Amino acid sequence: MNAVQTATPYFFQTAGSIAAGAGSLSQLLPRIGALGSFKHAVIITQPSIQALGVIDSLSGELAKAGINSRSYTEVKPEPTVGNIREVFAAVSAEPVDLLIGIGGGSVLDATKLFSVLLTNPVDVQSLIGTDLVANPGIPTVLIPTTSGTGSEVTPNAIVTLPEEELKVGIISRHMLPKLVILDPGLTVSLPKPITAATGMDAFTHALESYISNKANPISDMFALESIRLIAGSLVQAYHEGQNLAAREQLLLGSMYGGMALTAAGTAAVHALAYPLGGKFNISHGVANSMLLPHVMKFNMDCIAGRLEQVAAAMGLASTGSAGAPEAVIERIFQWTKEMNIPQNLRAFGVTEQDVDSLAVAASKVTRLLNNNPKVMSIEDMQAVYRKLLP
Ligand SMILES: NC(=O)c1ccc[n+]([C@@H]2O[C@H](COP(=O)([O-])OP(=O)(O)OC[C@H]3O[C@@H](n4cnc5c(N)ncnc54)[C@H](O)[C@@H]3O)[C@@H](O)[C@H]2O)c1
Ligand SMILES: [Fe+2]
């Protein structure tokens, strides 16, 4: 038997309860009933979800159970602190004792922030950082519609600071939800480019957690299973959006990726992605997809052993010619090509002149860079960005 041995203690905490599987949205009311007695539910969502008709039927169900509800659709994709402040002002103007977030990571992160802003009378900006939230938030139900960020099970919320052209994190266990509903039926409407980008984000969470300096037995378990599930479903979900089995596998893989990153943290891919989102509005998943194979190539001499296990989880162990670690990187490049994910930053208006400031901004994301298995200098970061400016 291989003994488990780690250099430092590790810690894991996640959502209070999880209902999963096709049709699990129907579990909302009975499960809410088990959480307490609520009168005023607020639903945070976006127009793309409202268009599916799901919010109207949710409100109807809540009303039947004697719970008033109102919904807000103004959280923007990848919200700025200003957007969070504006929507929070509207949310908090009337009574609320339960928050239901139904959407992608942007909606889920906003819901988590509203929950703690309701119980902590401070400006959102003062919460940026780790463990700066004093009081638990009001109860939340998080229902992801992308596969995805895994935000439904993480203590993190990401906001954009436009003046600093950077994305930053608010991390607090007080933002973990009471209930998560993982219903793959809610993800079949995802357009192809969003399936691709969000699925690659989920894969990045798993892979970065697996090679993180903070990787531990708990994160490893979720990371490898996430990698296996995503590798077996992402491209199929992309081509056959209505394939519920592939959608379910991907959604579970995404949640496990969130659990892995909660236990071990993401690393340099996410650190280098934040300035691309903050300055050039490149979506989180696209930025990660572009950076992932290049950062892994940079890390290679420190992670080759770990990539053997990753290759096995991806079903690549016996690919023959290239070694297993190289095969992992090759497969990531193949996925981005097959799913038409951009590979050139010029398409987003980035030029050589921007490389220095991007690298300086990324170097400030020490929370994540400290997790990277190989130390990255500013010059190393510049070199990675230049690979994306061929
Ligand atoms: N909290 C965390 O742990 C964590 C982890 C990674 C990323 N994030 C953050 O999450 C945000 C990105 O979230 P995302 O990648 O899920 O994208 P998103 O929430 O911004 O959604 C992308 C687009 O897809 C639409 N959409 C969502 N679900 C849909 C559906 N089922 N059908 C049709 N359209 C749908 C949305 O309305 C939006 O226009 C970023 O701000 C990122 O930094 C958070
Ligand atoms: Fe991410």
Residues 138 and 218 in one domain: no
Cα distances (angstroms) measured from residue 335 to each of 189, 201, 230, 243, 389: 21, 13, 11, 18, 20
Please give all residues whose beta carbon lies within 6 A of any atom in ligand 1, as ranges.
Answer: 46, 48-49, 77-78, 103-107, 109, 145-146, 148-151, 154, 156-158, 167, 186-187, 189-190, 194, 198, 201, 258, 284-285
Give domain status of residue 4, yes or no. no
Query: What average pLDDT does range 214-230 have in this prediction?
Result: 97
Percent of the chain with pLDDT over 70: 97
What DSSP element (H or E) covers 182? Answer: strand 179-182
| Cα 9 to ligand 1 centre (Å) | 32
The pair of three-digit structure tokens given for residue 133, joined into one six-digit string: 């939230």
Residues 177 and 110 in one domain: yes
Query: Is 319 a residue whose pLDDT tops 70?
Result: no
Residues 220 and 366 in one domain: yes
Give domain status of residue 333, yes or no. yes
Q: How confident is the model at residue 130 (pLDDT cuts 50, 70, 90)?
A: very high
What number does the ligand 1 atom closest to the CA of 191 have?
Answer: 33
Residues 272 and 154 in one domain: no
Give domain status of residue 106, yes or no. yes
Range of the domain at 371: 192-387
Look at residues 172, 187, 202 and tell me which one is the last residue of a structural domain: 187
Query: Is 328 a residue whose pLDDT tops 70?
Result: yes
Residues 180 and 228 in one domain: no
Query: What average pLDDT does range 187-193 have in this prediction?
Result: 97
Look at residues 143, 158, 187 and tell me which one is the last residue of a structural domain: 187
Query: What average pLDDT does range 112-125 have in this prediction?
Result: 98
Residues 88 and 154 in one domain: yes
Query: 289 and 269 in contact (C-beta within 8 Å)?
Result: no
Contacting residues for 215 by C-beta, under 8 A, at least 6 apart:
209, 223, 264, 306
CATH number at residue 40: 3.40.50.1970
Protein residues within 5 Å, CB atom, of ion ligand 2: 201
Residues 115 and 196 in one domain: no
Residues 90 and 219 in one domain: no
Residues 124 and 75 in one domain: yes
pLDDT of residue 164: 87
Contacting residues for 191 by C-beta, under 8 A, at least 6 apart:
none
What are phi and psi for residue 173, nearest 5 degrees? -65, -20
**Closest by CA position to 102, among listed 177, 169, 201, 16:** 177
Give domain status of residue 273, yes or no. yes
Give domain status of residue 10, yes or no. no
Q: Over the Cα atoms of the chain, what is R_g?
A: 20
Q: How confident is the model at residue 1 (pLDDT cuts 50, 70, 90)?
A: very low
- DSSP conformation class of 41: E
Look at residues 187, 214, 240 and tell me which one is the last residue of a structural domain: 187
Q: Name the domain count of the chain.
A: 2
Task: State the CB neighbour count (10 A cutoff) for residue 168.
Answer: 19
Residue identifier of the C-alpha nearest atom 30 of ligand 1: 190
Give domain status of residue 349, yes or no. yes
Query: Is 289 a residue whose pLDDT tops 70?
Result: yes
* Residue 213 buriedness (CB in 10 A; 0-12 / 13-18 / 19+): middle
Give domain status of residue 179, yes or no. yes
Residues 221 and 139 in one domain: no
CATH number at residue 295: 1.20.1090.10
**Which residue of 14, 25, 44, 48 sits with most ligand 1 atoms within 8 Å of its CB, as the best mutation to test the pocket?**
48
pTM (predicted TM-score): 0.97
